[in-house]
Amino acid sequence: MASPITLLLVRHGQSEWNAQGLMQGQTAHPPLTALGHSQAELAAVELAALSPGALISSDLLRAVQTAEHCAAATGLPVTTAAELREQGYGVLEGRPSRELWDVVDWTDASWAAEGGESLAELHGRVAAFLAQLCAEPPADVVALVTHGDTIRAVQAVAAGLGADAMPAVTPPNGSITRLEICE
């Protein structure tokens, strides 16, 4: 049995597309807003006090910019991992989120937009990443800078829940969620 690992899940700061109410998914280029940089800086200070031994970030710009604040506060180098990207929404990315409530079937874990990925696929991607992390942990306390749906998937995997039972609440921008895995 592997030793438990503490995960510190940092949700990226507010991006320009968050502020505009646009569906981001895996769109790589939306940067943080001034508020997003402030949120990232506050999260970085909180993170440094929790003493992570490794810092891994999604490779999408909003997460990388947040991770740069975390790196400055902790002194840790940033490693990026595509597995920590947000759920892909394909052709829906860039559209106003409010328009999508009648288009997206939020209750069906196997539903995916054209060119996107389902919650089940997101859950599987995250489960594989966490299994690898447990097999080869870079530290006892690992900070992951990532996205709202990805954090919900991590929470489900850590709790032994499937994609159909992911938590409904998305952590706010610039927040840190702590949990144990590999127990």
C-alpha to C-alpha distance for 5 and 129, rounded to whole angstroms: 14
Instruction: Give 82-119 as a DSSP string.
Output: GGGSPPP-GGGTTSBGGGGTTTS-TT-TT---TTS--H
Single out the residue of 176, 179, 181 nearest to residue 12, CA to CA.
176
Q: Which two tokens stand for residue 107?
A: 């209750």
Q: Which two tokens stand for residue 176?
A: 């840190």
Q: Are 160 and 26 in contact (CB under 8 A)?
A: no
Q: List all residues 6 or more positions away from 78 whose beta carbon is below 8 Å from its beta carbon.
A: 55, 56, 57, 64, 67, 68, 70, 71, 145
Q: List all residues 6 or more positions away from 59 whose beta carbon is below 8 Å from its beta carbon.
A: 28, 80, 81, 82, 84, 85
For the annotated catalytic residues, the residue numbers are 12, 86
